[in-house]
Structure 1
Amino acid sequence: MAKHFQHVAIVGKHQAPGIRPILEEIAEFVTRQGLDVSLQHETALNTGITSYDALSNEQLGERCDLAIVVGGDGTMLGFAREMARHGTPLVGINQGRLGFITDISMEKFREALAPILAGDYEKEHRTMLEGAVWRDEQNIFEGLALNDVVVSRGATASMVELRIDVGEEFVANLRADGVIVASPTGSTAYSLSAGGPILHPSIAGWLLVPIASHTLSNRPIVLPDTGVVTMEIVAGRDASVNFDMQSLASLLHGDRITVRRSAHKVCFLHPKGWSYYATLRRKLRWYEGVS
């Protein structure tokens, strides 16, 4: 029988204590299934694992047809952005605390991985945000985000004032600590802490969530993901913008941050029978109080 996958990339949160034996255990398991294995160069360099080829992210995207990410959601976020344009499917093994998108526990990785490697899995695609910062009509920064784009006040400022437009329509002037534009994936991240709702990943929409708004009537709103969201800095010192983990500080008055749907999507593979609702129950403890 032909193998469903041929070449597997492995990337890990190399700063985590004790990660080397875990990565070696996973790599050995994959090779025993008859697949080739390569490690992300940074992962191999920082763990000292030399038994496998060490490749750059670009090389992994070109050569591998599956990637296993070992760590927390932060590790997955960074690597998912790198792999999105290659269309490489991702499997997450959780070494973090919450694990909304790294959903396979380390203790059960063999039982979960074996069927996936054989082609028995649930597949889903997650939309990404594509953002840019414009100053005097010049593009000075670009970024991709799987979770969110966040504009925040400076450390010495009491607030930031933002003009919000969606497409050609003016929506609101917000005076707040900041504002979050979140994807459905990001609806369970910072947006949730700021009072935003949870969006199912299949919904074609964004969340616009004020952070500690100075006006109680400024509430989170769900927007279609077909338009461009523009946030212009009206007032406030040293505001910054963050695209997942990519930041640009010291925004000036008149700077505009634009956010649109990226042409790329992230592909996740889950064990057969995986359920988004079961993930919410487990991670948010929605089962408490049920006898």
Structure 2
Amino acid sequence: MSTVLIVAHAERAEALAASKLLAAWLEAEGHAASMGGAEAAAIDRADLACDHAGRAVPDLAVSVGGDGTMLRAVDLVAAGGVPVLGVNVGHLGYLTEFEPTQMIETVAAALRGSLRISERMMVSARVRRRADSDERERHADARSDARGTRTWTGLNEVVLEKRDLGHTVRLEVWLDGDVFATYAADGLITSTPTGSTAYSLSAGGAIVAPTHSSLQLTPVAPHMLFDRSLLLAPDTEIGIRVVSERPALVAVDGRSAAMLTTGDELVVTRAPYDARFVTAGGDSFHRVLKHKFGLKDR
């Protein structure tokens, strides 16, 4: 018997219907299914509701929705090494490989161990406050180590961005302890290869194959001559210090994390663990990329 966590888009009827079908199939096959409370209530299966913080580590997570749902599933289970299978409901996504019509057969194959697992690097962020700074609220998703230092992990990116409209922020960047440059910009994005097709792409960053290992530092609307995206080694430590009087906001995979003021620092590194995706293999990323941009054969 296997335990499967279903993470569904609670506001899409098709996703909820597929989740209900999957839960029933899992139980009929002798497996255990669980869901978040809101999703379980939405399909009238309150008995499937679980507390993610206190539950046992599942054998597989199935994301039923779009890329946002996939990011949520990864955030829930990546630290435990749990593979995530993405079922695409809605718009074409980069992360969700399988269609609803394939759901049962692909979940069955994944539970048998017949499908490949693709490792995707993740990114980690922590904040260092200036010495005279008061502690500010952190996002509830932040995790603490033994020393109380808060960290956030993401699959796509960490963003440090201006708070105030109509203004830029000045951000001093150092790489592996050496000062690199001071950016005057709307913000800076540190993305993984998986995240290269998210916010970084819209800011002019390169598209990187998702199984590659690297960090990409991309300025958002820079007010300076140097406006290039940097492709860095995956073990690079990227430090960003706020040097302007205007505050900046940290977001990880679109989730608000912290506010930084003058002298505060954001440190971004590779996460200590990778995300694990269930995949059928082949060139699915290239196909999605081609379709997304309307590229022709000739």
Report the TM-score when normalising by structure 1: 0.88
**Does 2:126 correspond to 1:132?**
yes
Deviations, residues 125-149 of structure 1 (Å, cap 9, x unaligned): 1111111122125786531111101
**Pick aligned residue for 1:166 from 167, 175, 189:** 175
Instruction: Please report how far the alpha carbon of residue 254 of structure 1 lies from its aligned counterpart in structure 2 after TM superposition.
Output: 0.8
Give SS of 2:53's match: helix
Paired residue type of 1:281: K
Match of 1:107? 101
Secondary structure of the residue that 1:263 maps to in structure 2? coil
For residues 193 and 65 of structure 2, the distance between their equivalents in structure 1, rounded to whole angstroms, comes to 21
Alpha-carbon shift at residue 80 of structure 1 (Å) = 0.7
Secondary structure in 2 aligned to 1:104?
coil
Q: Within 1, Cα distance between the matches of 2:48 and 2:57?
A: 12
Deviation per residue, 1:147-172 (Å, 9 max, x gap) = 10111112334111110001111111
Q: Which moved more, 1:136-145 or 1:41-50?
A: 136-145
Provide the secondary structure at the position in 1 that maps to 2:93. coil
Which of 31, 54, 57 lines up with 2:49 in the alignment?
Answer: 54
Gaps of 5+ in 2: 139-150
The answer to whether the 8 Å contact 2:169/2:247 transfers is: no
1 CA distance for matches of 2:101 and 2:45?
22
Structure with more strand by fraction: 1
**1 CA distance for matches of 2:24 and 2:170?**
53
Find the counterpart in structure 1 of residue 3 from structure 2.
Answer: 7
> For 1:162 and 1:254, how far apart are their aligned partners in 2?
10
- The equivalent of 2:160 in structure 1 is 151
Q: Distance in 2 between matches of 1:22 and 1:183?
A: 30
Q: Give the TM-score normalised by structure 2.
A: 0.86
Q: Which amino acid letter does the alignment assign opposite residue 126 of structure 1?
A: R
Distance 1:280 1:156 in 2: 33
Amino acid at match of 1:195: G
Alignment partner of 1:197 out of 203, 206, 226: 206
Percent of residue pairs identical: 30
SS in 1 for 2:158: strand
Q: Secondary structure, in 3 states, of the residue corresponding to 2:80?
A: coil
Q: Distance in 1 between matches of 2:237 and 2:204?
A: 23
**CA distance in structure 2 between the partners assigned to 1:112 and 1:9 by the alignment:** 15
CA contact (8 A) 2:9 2:16 kept: no
Q: Does 1:35 align with 2:35?
A: no
What is the rounded CA distance, in whole Å, between the counterparts of 1:156 and 1:194 in structure 2?
17
Runs of 5+ consecutive residues of structure 1 not aligned to the other structure: none
Q: 1:91/1:20 Cα in 2 relative to 1: closer, same or farther (>3 Å)?
A: same
Please give the alpha-carbon distance, in whole angstroms, between the structure 2 residues aligned to 1:116 and 1:250: 41
Pick closer, same or farther for the CA change 1:152–1:118 going to 2, 3 Å. Answer: same
Paired with 2:206 and 2:264, the residues of 1 have a C-alpha distance of: 28
SS at match of 1:98: coil
Whole-Å separation in 2 of the counterparts to 1:166 and 1:28 = 51
Please report how far the alpha carbon of residue 86 of structure 1 lies from its aligned counterpart in structure 2 after TM superposition. 1.0
Choose 82-91 or 269-278, whichever is displaced more.
269-278
Q: Distance in 2 between matches of 1:33 and 1:122?
A: 22
d(CA) in 2 for partners of 1:272, 1:261: 25
Paired residues, number = 283
Which of 2, 21, 32 is matched with 2:17 structurally?
Answer: 21
Distance 2:196 2:9 in 1: 23
Q: State the secondary structure of the residue aligned to 1:208.
A: strand
1:237/1:250 contact within 8 Å kept = no
What do the CA deviations read for 1:104-132 (whole angstroms, capped 9, x no partner)? 11233234333223221121111111111
Separation in structure 2 between the aligned mates of residue 243 and residue 188 of structure 1, nearest angstrom: 15
Deviations 1:83-111 (A, max 9, x none): 11111111011124232111211233234
Report the AA paired with residue 64 of structure 2.
V
What secondary structure is seen at the aligned counterpart in 2 of 1:85? Answer: helix
